[in-house]
Structure 1
Amino acid sequence: MQERSWYVIQCKAKESFRAAENLENQGYRVFHPYIQVEKMRQGKIRLVDEPLFPYYLFIHLSDVADNWRPLRSTRGVLKLVSFGQTPVKVEDELISQLQERINPEPQDYLKAGDQVLIEEGPFKGLNAIFQSKKGEERVILLLNLLQKQQRLEVPVKSVKPLK
């Protein structure tokens, strides 16, 4: 049995998913850690997959048995990360720890208690506190008016997180 190690591949800008798919189609074993994040898209909050390490992925190769030449011409791949002429090996233990720790739970765009800025409507320019989502297109905020917290329902596209 051939000794296999994990190596790092640098991908072209915003093409790490394409590179991973193309390498897997060629029969290589690839680890491309990503997380799901809520992002604002076309006025709605959507789940988006984002690489944990933008521009990089890991590939499991044998020094002897595998053909490394196709790596350079694979769509989405920029190069194999190397120091001089020696490709960088990544410890198996590190890859195992990453695989265990990848959190499949989506990261929220807004969490209860987050400070937000209202960018549209009659309350434009005021800061508020995010309380909850109401469907995909609306949010409920708490706004301090007249020495009292008022609940306010606004379109999600009119709110920007203050971070």
Structure 2
Amino acid sequence: MQVNRSDTDLQLPAHEKSAWYLVQCKSRQDERAEENLTRQGYKCARPLCRRERVVRGMRTTSQESLFPGYLFIYLPDSANWAPLRSTRGVNRLVSFGGKPLAVKQELVTRLQNRIEDIKPAFVVGERVRILEGGLGALDAIFMSADGEERVILLISLLHRQQTVSMPLMNVSAF
């Protein structure tokens, strides 16, 4: 997991209480919001995860937000919330009854320390559909990857279970 921190973390007096708060970002702009808030000197945390996807028949790994559309911001209780509302990419501070609700430090710490998992494009046992070829439009069960560009599937053909290997680009999630 990657968490961005500003080099100029907020310097708070010893008597000032601070907490993490949840920021709702505009649609698909959580990275932009984090960048702009960090540039303004705020301490932010946007947990990331790696995800494997199939793009044009090739498996690719990309990083994306663990919680798309949200990030955490560390602020003192007496902070001026007004600059947050006009920050590009920020929609609002999540609040209840008109008051921003603090997120427990333990939760943010656990998210910061979690192990980053790669979520595979297909999971063993997942139902998939064959798109092209002689077996096109048949449903199958994903068994395993066979290199970078091929998969092994289990299909039911003539009342018998058969394993077949085919190009990854010919398979899609059900």
Tell me the TM-score range normalised by the shorter chain: 0.7 to 0.9
**1:36-73 deviation per Cα after TM superposition (whole angstroms, max 9, x unaligned):** 22122232222233322222111001123x55333222
- Tell me the number of residue pairs that the alignment of Structure 1 and Structure 2 aligns: 160
2:42 is matched with: 28
Q: Distance in 2 between matches of 1:137 and 1:25?
A: 41
Task: Verify: 1:123 aligned to 2:118, yes or no.
Answer: no
TM-score calculated relative to the size of structure 1: 0.83
Deviates more, 1:118-127 or 1:78-87: 78-87
TM-superposed CA distance for 1:156, in Å, is: 1.5
The residue number in structure 1 matching 2:104 is 91
Q: Does 1:75 align with 2:88?
A: yes
In the superposition, the TM-score normalised over structure 2's length comes to 0.79
User: What are the ranges of 5 or more consecutive residues in structure 2 without an aligned counterpart?
Assistant: 1-13
| Pick aligned residue for 1:139 from 124, 128, 151 | 151
- What letter is aligned with 1:90? V
**Could you tell me how far 1:131 is from its partner in structure 2?**
2.3
Cα gap change, 1:42/1:67 in structure 2, threshold over 3 Å: closer, same or farther?
Answer: farther
Sort the Cα spacing of 1:148 and 1:89 in 2 relative to 1 into closer, same or farther, 3 A.
same
Range moving further from structure 2, 126-135 or 139-148: 139-148
CA change 1:158–1:6 in 2 (3 A) is same
After TM superposition, give the deviation of residue 146 of structure 1 in Å.
4.7
Partner Cα distance (2:147, 2:86) in 1: 44
CA–CA separation in structure 1 for the residues paired with 2:23 and 2:159? 56
Match of 1:42 in 2: 56
Q: CA deviation at 1:11?
A: 0.2
Q: 1:107 is matched with which residue? A: 119
Cα distance in 2 for residues equivalent to 1:83 and 1:115: 41
Displacement of 1:118 in angstroms is 0.7
Pairwise CA RMSD: 2.1
